[in-house]
């Protein structure tokens, strides 16, 4: 129950809407019961009065008629109000929950979210949060209404047909408590499995959709489709089980209502014969009972789906309660004036029991210094940038900015000073302008065009149908790789960080585009500190220092020319690369 209670507490700020919605649901109940019972009484009384035409003055049809209209209006108005208030309340709660979840998930990125697939996280934000509306709409409100129905039953019926009151009360307890209890137990496992399967289906669909081209090329689309169908079949089978259970439960709860009406008739008919109850009163009770039992009818199904809701709540908490790898300090150190970035004897593992990824790394980056980090794949180059961006904290040594450990700085200060660009810098499904505004939300058009100019993209954007307001598609898919990279670069230009962390920003670009982006980066890097992670050793002669890593350790370091002269591993790699470049040029 803990996960559900946790979320119930989060409903509190909107209690007025939620309580208002529940109150309107009670009004609907009063309307339904009033309408049914009064109509039953009225029709029977009218019939008994000898179809009033024969004796028009003897029976007042106006007041009961007005009553019937009143209850009909109460029911309709109540239902409108109920929908309005319960939905307003639910949407407010859901939107709070979404931003709460997002706020919790954000600091977990990237270190603590890497085990989750993108579709899984999406499913939590959308479907799992949506599932929580069941808690209020389907469980709490109907339970409250059913309690009122029970109160009405035990307060009114004993005065009319005492024996039927006891039986009807017991039947209502059976339909309103015992059946929901059975439903909750019977539906728990399947409900939980359904929640997991729904997430798996969504993740699978997203994954397969994204990799469709690869699946086709590797002729794996059939297999993937078969796996998807198998998953879907399991999902449908579980859904069928749930629906079967719903059917039985609905039948059972319906029977409790019918049994109560039948018993009321049996006991009431005896009283009518004994003249201790009038026939219209009997009709009043029977139809009133039908209305009261309507309040109980949705409960078994609601509780049947509680397992699914609980699973959704657990899945949300499983992410929200993760501890971020780095917690933004409550009392951050003042922003340092001197932006000297230092790695001192840094050692790091991604998992405490995992292999050492970096060992004994020293880097000295006074303002304006340009350092290239090179080395074979897996040597730990990107990890150095991940640490400088404070995505993780090193287990050994320290990283400081102006003498202040990175973990003591506020997130806002840190990311104001440190900007990054990589081959995977995200281009959002938005316009050029919105993508740029991420760098500086206050930037005006002139500043944006100036940034695009530096990134060598101004001419291209100027030719787009809506220039800055052109939509660039999912992950910027309407842009070429080079255009996307330059857009990301323009964003960094707008951010204007004094320290630039670049992770293979030229990877995947053709020679010409790479040259344009490189020139833009050179222009941007002037006067700023820069760490450039790269495989390409052919254009590092203007770097102040080259740090060559191997298996997480600094193997060689010095100027590009110095390292070539030393004729070690760096020089060998450089020779191979230069030869490959010459062959490519000749081709």
Binding-site size for ligand ATP (CB under 6 A) equals 11
Q: How far is the CB of 373 from ligand ATP (least distance, A)?
A: 8
Mark the segment that binds ligand ATP (CB under 6 A) among 137-145, 182-190, 370-378, 524-532. 370-378
Q: Give the CA distances from residue 529 to residues 373, 419, 505, in Å, rounded to whole numbers and listed in that order.
A: 14, 10, 16
Instruction: Check binding of 297 to ligand ATP (CB under 6 A).
Output: no
- In whole angstroms, give the CA distance from residue 562 to residue 87: 70
Site for ligand ATP in 336-365 (CB under 6 A): 350, 357
Question: In this complex, which beta carbon is closest to ligand ATP, that of residue 45 or of residue 116?
Answer: 116
Instruction: Check binding of 329 to ligand ATP (CB under 6 A).
Output: no
Residue 134 and residue 302 in contact, taking contact as beta carbons nearer than 8 Å: yes
List CB contacts of 463: < 8 A, sequence separation 6 or more. Answer: none
Q: How far is the CB of 101 from ligand ATP (least distance, A)?
A: 23
Token couple for 201: 């289906």
Q: How many beta carbons lie within 10 A of that of residue 88, not counting itself?
A: 15
Q: Is the dihedral of CA 330, 333, 334, 335 positive or negative?
A: negative
Question: In this complex, which beta carbon is closest to ligand ATP, that of residue 387 or of residue 451?
Answer: 387
Question: In this complex, which beta carbon is closest to ligand ATP, that of residue 13 or of residue 110?
Answer: 110
Instruction: Check binding of 382 to ligand ATP (CB under 6 A).
Output: yes
Instruction: Check binding of 381 to ligand ATP (CB under 6 A).
Output: yes
Mark the segment that binds ligand ATP (CB under 6 A) among 232-240, 364-372, 378-386, 409-417. 378-386
Instruction: Check binding of 377 to ligand ATP (CB under 6 A).
Output: yes
Question: In this complex, which beta carbon is closest to ligand ATP, that of residue 143 or of residue 534?
Answer: 534
Alpha helices, H only, 2-123? 2-10, 15-48, 62-105, 118-123
Mark the segment that binds ligand ATP (CB under 6 A) among 230-238, 381-389, 441-449, 450-458. 381-389
Nearest to 29 by CA among 203, 145, 193, 154: 145
Nearest to 151 by CA among 130, 125, 134, 176: 176
Mark the segment that binds ligand ATP (CB under 6 A) among 28-36, 235-243, 376-384, 414-422. 376-384
Backbone angles phi, psi at 500, to 5 degrees: -110, 130
Instruction: Check binding of 394 to ligand ATP (CB under 6 A).
Output: no
Helix then strand then coil, % of the chain, to nearest 5? 65, 10, 25
Residue 500 and residue 531 in contact, taking contact as beta carbons nearer than 8 Å: yes
Rule CB under 6 A: choose which of 379, 443, 537, 564 binds ligand ATP.
379
Residue 425 and residue 502 in contact, taking contact as beta carbons nearer than 8 Å: no
Q: Give the CA distances from residue 256 to residues 249, 263, 288, in Å, rounded to whole numbers and listed in that order.
A: 11, 10, 14
Q: Give the CA distances from residue 331 to residues 108, 109, 411, in Å, rounded to whole numbers and listed in that order.
A: 20, 22, 11
Site string for ligand ATP, 217-236 (x = CB under 6 A): --------------------
Question: In this complex, which beta carbon is closest to ligand ATP, that of residue 72 or of residue 577?
Answer: 577
Q: How far is the CB of 381 from ligand ATP (least distance, A)?
A: 4
Rule CB under 6 A: choose which of 44, 383, 420, 435 binds ligand ATP.
383
Site for ligand ATP in 106-145 (CB under 6 A): 114
Rule CB under 6 A: choose which of 78, 300, 380, 505 binds ligand ATP.
380
Tell me how far apart the 2 most distant CA atoms of the chain are, in Å.
Answer: 123
Instruction: Check binding of 548 to ligand ATP (CB under 6 A).
Output: no
Q: Is the dihedral of CA 155, 157, 158, 163 positive or negative?
A: negative
Q: How far is the CB of 569 from ligand ATP (least distance, A)?
A: 14
- In whole angstroms, give the CA distance from residue 349 to residue 101: 28
Mark the segment that binds ligand ATP (CB under 6 A) among 55-63, 248-256, 374-382, 396-404. 374-382
Residue 477 and residue 209 in contact, taking contact as beta carbons nearer than 8 Å: no
Q: How far is the CB of 441 from ligand ATP (least distance, A)?
A: 30
Q: How far is the CB of 357 from ligand ATP (least distance, A)?
A: 4
- In whole angstroms, give the CA distance from residue 304 to residue 183: 4
> Which residues lie near ligand ATP (CB under 6 A)?
114, 350, 357, 375, 377-383
């Amino acid at each position: 129950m803990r996960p559900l209670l946790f979320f119930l507490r989060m409903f509190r700020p909107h209690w007025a809407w939620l309580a208002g919605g529940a109150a309107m649901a009670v009004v609907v109940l009063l309307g339904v019961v009033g309408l049914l019972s009064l109509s039953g009484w009225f029709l029977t009384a009218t019939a008994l009065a000898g179809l009033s035409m024969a004796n028009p003055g003897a029976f007042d049809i106006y007041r009961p008629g007005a009553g019937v209209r009143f209850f009909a209006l109460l029911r309709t108005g109540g239902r409108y109000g109920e929908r309005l208030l319960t939905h307003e309340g639910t949407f407010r709660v859901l939107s709070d929950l979404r931003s709460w979840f997002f706020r919790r998930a954000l600091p977990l990125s990237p270190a603590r979210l890497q085990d989750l697939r993108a579709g899984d996280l999406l499913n939590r934000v959308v479907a799992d949060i949506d599932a929580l509306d069941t808690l209020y709409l389907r469980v709490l409100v109907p339970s409250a209404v059913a309690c009122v129905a029970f109160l009405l039953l035990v307060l009114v019926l004993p005065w009319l047909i005492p024996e039927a009151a006891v039986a009807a009360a017991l039947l209502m307890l059976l339909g309103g408590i015992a059946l929901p209890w059975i439903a909750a137990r019977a539906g728990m496992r399947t409900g939980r499995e359904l929640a997991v399967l729904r997430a798996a289906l969504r993740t699978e669909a997203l994954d397969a959709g994204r990799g469709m081209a690869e699946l086709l090329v590797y002729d794996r689309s059939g297999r993937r489709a078969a796996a998807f169908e198998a998953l879907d079949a399991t999902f449908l089978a579980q859904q069928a089980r749930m629906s079967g259970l719903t059917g039985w439960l609905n039948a059972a709860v319906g029977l409790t209502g019918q049994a109560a009406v039948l018993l009321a008739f049996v006991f009431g008919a005896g009283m009518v014969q004994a003249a201790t109850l009038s026939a219209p009163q009997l009709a009043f009770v029977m139809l009133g009972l039908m209305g009261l039992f309507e309040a109980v009818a949705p409960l078994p199904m609601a509780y049947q789906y509680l397992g699914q809701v609980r699973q959704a709540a657990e899945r949300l908490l499983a992410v929200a309660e993760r501890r971020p790898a780095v917690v933004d300090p409550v009392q951050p150190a003042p922003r340092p004036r001197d932006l000297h970035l230092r790695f001192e004897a840094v050692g790091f593992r991604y998992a405490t029991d995992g292999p050492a990824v970096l060992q004994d790394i020293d880097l000295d980056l006074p303002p304006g210094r340009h350092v290239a980090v090179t080395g074979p794949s897996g040597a730990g180059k990107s990890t150095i940038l991940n640490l400088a961006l404070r995505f993780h904290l090193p287990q050994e040594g320290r990283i400081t900015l102006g003498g202040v450990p990175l973990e003591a700085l506020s997130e806002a200060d840190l990311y104001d000073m440190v900007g990054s660009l990589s081959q995977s810098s995200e281009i959002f499904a938005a316009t050029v302008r919105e993508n740029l505004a991420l760098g500086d939300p206050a930037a005006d058009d002139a500043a944006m065009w100036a940034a695009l100019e530096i990134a060598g993209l101004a001419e291209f954007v100027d030719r787009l149908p809506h220039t800055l307001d052109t939509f660039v598609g999912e992950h910027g898919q309407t842009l070429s790789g080079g255009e996307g990279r330059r857009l990301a670069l323009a964003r960094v230009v707008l951010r204007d960080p004094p320290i630039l962390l670049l992770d293979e920003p030229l990877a995947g670009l053709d020679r010409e585009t790479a040259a344009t982006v490189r020139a833009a980066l050179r222009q941007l890097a002037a006067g700023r500190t820069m760490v450039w992670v790269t495989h390409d050793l052919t254009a590092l002669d203007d770097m102040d220092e080259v740090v060559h890593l191997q298996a997480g350790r600094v193997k060689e370091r010095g100027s590009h020319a110095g390292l070539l002269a030393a004729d070690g591993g760096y020089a060998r790699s450089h020779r191979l690369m230069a030869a490959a470049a010459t062959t490519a040029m000749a081709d």
